[in-house]
Structure 1
């Protein structure tokens, strides 16, 4: 699993959902969690954190947001060599096959369908870790 020092960015236009995800991450032992309320806010934060030498190591973003949707934030991150390998998880109420395919094509690490519980998020994070760090032993 990811080290407890992993730096997370949680992106969601709904403050309650950001709090829920942050609470789950805290329960899992992660304390370095920052928030953004949409992709338009998140992208400059991602760039600034990288430029400051403290990049986000895992991005969890809602799909449906005003300003810039999560899928567009994902595409922007994957198009930039600096963020291409950053684990990126989409959280969505959409479970339609076309959305899942679009996210997979765009390079999403995994996705979580709302509603979800802490065990579901933890399981998805473990899968992302195994995908991004295949030689690491599961802890």
Structure 2
């Protein structure tokens, strides 16, 4: 678990990311009900009705900025895409929460998510956009 301590080591995410082309979207992710796109490198909270709430927190680690999220209500994330800030835009990192990886009802909390590594300084890029591919899920409540 990542605590809000400056320059703490990065905790590993529950799933390994895979790289995608810059500015990837949720279009290819099956079962997505809606998308929440946050343009932030800080903290954000989003209410999306029906008791659903998303908290996105970004903290600094020794390897660069890391993201943690928590979803409440009858929703879960099928995927989280983190696009780094850069010109030209670097590839993004996608974290997939599906049955093959042990999350048949999606993910509702994870820590240590990050953008790809910047080859100029060997640190994670600062997140430019964090996209949540949200699905209905009984993980947090009834659907």
TM-score scaled to structure 2, two decimals? 0.28
Q: Higher strand share goes to which structure?
A: 2
TM-score scaled to structure 1, two decimals? 0.29
